[in-house]
Structure 1
Amino acid sequence: MELNLEQIPREKTLSKKEFLQKYFRPQKPVVIENFIEDWPAYSKWSLDYMSQIAGEKEVPLYDDRPVKHDEGFNEPHAKMKMKDYIRLLKSEPTKYRIFLWNVIKEIPQLQKDFKYPDFGLRLMKGLPMLFFGGSDSHTFMHYDIDLANIFHFHFEGKKQCILFPQSETKFLYKIPHSLITREDIDFANPDLDKWPALKNAKGHIAHLEHGNVLYIPEGYWHHMKYISPGFSMSLRAIARKPKNFGKALYNIFFMRHFDNMMRRWKGQKWIDWKNEEAIRRTELIAIQK
């Protein structure tokens, strides 16, 4: 038995009006296949080009090890020069990923290679973020702290994206006071006997290739798996729904700091309690259902 996932609609291209009517207002994901051919990045950006232009930059690397109580928020697991990291990506499978690497801050000249598209939303122009990964590397299932609308532009390689709306949170074994689900769930190939509530969750799936754009609506859970080495760039716009905007403020100004305080106070016991509570709360919902 597999997850209940429907294919994300694919459009060759979309006008602003079509995007707003068909996808943004109803908050539905979409893959736009032919949208960035006029960007210099479309033909220039590759792993080799990134190695050439940013090779000497030291980059933070992350893998899929479980969260520990003594690790800070988004603290990297390793560091490496970009050229060495890309050489590693191209030579063998690796769990190491780069995420939230700010283009403007790190390599300002890359700004000349892309545009801020007019989707009818005000994009945050200071936060174009790059994400890199090697074959079979993946993120945990998570949603972003600001519950933003995300436009995910993919370059090189193939990537699998699994999404769930916030309405499905109750079935996903969400970790309390956190933005992730249980880290021992492999959403690319889940054990539904071990995690039975997942059978009730209704989600979406898409595979991205070079030049594809994935729209991820506000607060959607997402799990990204690199089928082959590659990288993507995300642009974001703030949550427009009052409920989501309020939750974003809560996450940023309270939840994150409360969780860090509890880690310092309780240590690993806090992490263990949260993992156990994720199962208890999810199974409670499943019984009621």
Structure 2
Amino acid sequence: MPFFYAFFKNRIGTTFVNLHVTMPMKLREIERVKTISKEDFLERYYKPQKPVIIERFVEDWPAFTKWNLDFMAKVAGEKTVPLYDNRPVSHEDGFNEPHTTMKMNDYVALLKKEPTKYRIFLWNILKEVPELQKDFKFPDLGMKLMKKLPMLFFGGTDSYTFMHYDIDLANIFHFQFEGRKEVILFDQKQNDFLYKIPHSIITREDIDFSNPDYKKWPALEKAEGYKTYLEHGHMLYMPEGYWHYMKYITPGFSMSLRSIPKRPKNLARAVYNIIVMRYFDTLMRKLKGQKWIDWKNEQAILRTHKAI
């Protein structure tokens, strides 16, 4: 990983590049700015739906200096947190059902002790620790943010999220606090190449997007997307419905703020996903069990290879 970091740190421009001799996927670095005005953000990134990293946007927040793993263990140590790992989806799993739980102080101790696959996913800080809201501000960048849904995400070394997009296709501001994280993004135009699972918002879970096997997943060579690394204080803007894969290089955590999609097509898809798709998928798991999951995994391959 260090040579990737050195490569990107010294790179200028956004030309497509090969990131590794075994990784020819067309990924380019996300544009970076130090700071940005509301007008420039709306014109250059929000309207064209283009991702960007703002490197110094949160330095006036108390969270910028206060928030780290030790602080979270102190203020939320006795809270029971939901934990997820990288096991494949099972027909027995409920929607966003955690794989286990743990006290926050025990979880932080685990993160600092050794690599672990356990992650905290969608932890609502307003509900669990309301006083933390005093440590951050809702950005004034021309988007109406859902102020009741700031979510925290934690992970240990080498833990990762499967490639997915959010069920509501929201615009997302993602703030990195402690730790370093690898991020790979694709827009919805790349769906034909990503081995998308039907009736879901994920791709095949057995794809390693950090180092994909192109003999097994040849369509990925056609996908065009973005790759970067986030570090303390960085804010990533992810446009509506962007696929994202995130891998923790070191233990750490981040926060996301979201805004509902403004494009009518994406808003309609979000409503369908929330009201129809997830309940249909849950029903089929109950009726067909693991056969439903296996059929969807097979269809992801068949449909992708047919499309190319």
Same fold (TM over 0.5): yes
Q: Give the equivalent residue in structure 1 for 2:18.
A: none
Residue 46 (structure 1) aligns with: 68
Q: Counterpart of 1:258 in 2: which secondary structure?
A: helix
Mapped partners of 2:66, 2:37: distance in 1: 25
Amino acid at match of 2:290: Q
In the other structure, the counterpart of 2:244 is 222
What CA distance in whole angstroms lies between the structure 1 residues aligned with 2:134 and 2:221?
45
Q: CA offsets, 1:34-77, max 9 Å, x none?
A: 00011000000000000000000000000000000011001111
1:81 to 86, 100, 103: 103
Matched, 1:168 2:190: yes
**Partner amino acid for 1:230?**
G
1:143-175 deviations in Å (ceiling 9; x for gaps): 000000000000011001100000001100000
Q: What are the within-5 Å matches in structure 2 for residues 71-150 of structure 1?
A: 71-150=93-172
**1:266 is the counterpart of 2:285:** no
Distance 1:82 1:121 in 2: 32
* Matched residue type, 1:52: K
Amino acid at match of 1:106: E
Please give the alpha-carbon distance, in whole angstroms, between the structure 2 residues aligned to 1:103 and 1:76: 17
Structure 2 CA distance, aligned partners of 1:234 and 1:187?
22
User: Counterpart in 1 of 2:261?
Assistant: 239
The offset of 1:6, in angstroms, is 0.2
Shift of 1:192: 1.0
Deviation at 1:206, TM superposition (A): 1.3
Q: Which amino acid in structure 2 is aligned with residue 149 of structure 1?
A: N
**Alpha-carbon distance in 1 for matches of 2:205, 2:143:** 33
Matched, 1:67 2:79: no
How far apart are residue 184 of structure 1 and its match? 0.2
Q: What SS does the corresponding residue of 1:234 show, helix, strand or coil?
A: strand
- Secondary structure, aligned partner of 2:131: helix
The normalised TM-score by structure 2 is 0.92
Supply the distance in 1 between the matched residues of 2:239 and 2:226 (Cα, whole angstroms).
12
Tell me the equivalent position of 1:36: 58
Structure-1-length-normalised TM-score? 0.98
Paired amino acid for 1:177: H
Gaps of 5+ in 2: 1-21
Deviations 1:226-262 (A, max 9, x none): 0000000000000000010000000000000000000
CA distance in 2, matches of 1:82, 1:192: 39
Among 235, 250, 268, the residue aligned to 1:213? 235
Q: Name 1:157's counterpart in structure 2.
A: 179
What is the letter of the counterpart of residue 212 of structure 2? P
Distance in 2 of aligned mates of 1:186 and 1:194: 11
Paired residue secondary structure (1:51): helix
Alignment of 1:178-197 (within 5 A): 178-197=200-219
Partners of 2:170 and 2:93 in 1: how far apart? 25
Query: What is the distance in 2 between the residues matched to 1:125 and 1:112?
Result: 13
C-alpha deviation, 1:4, in angstroms: 1.1
Structure 1 residue ranges without an equivalent (≥5): none
Amino acid aligned to 1:264: K
- Residue 193 of structure 1 and its aligned partner are, at CA, apart by 1.1
Q: In the alignment, does 2:278 pair up with 1:282?
A: no
SS in 2 for 1:214: strand
SS at match of 2:152: strand
SS at match of 1:18: helix
Q: Quick one: distance in 2 between partners of 1:200 and 1:233?
A: 31
Instruction: Give, as a single letter, the amino acid of the residue that structure 1 aligns with 2:124.
Output: N
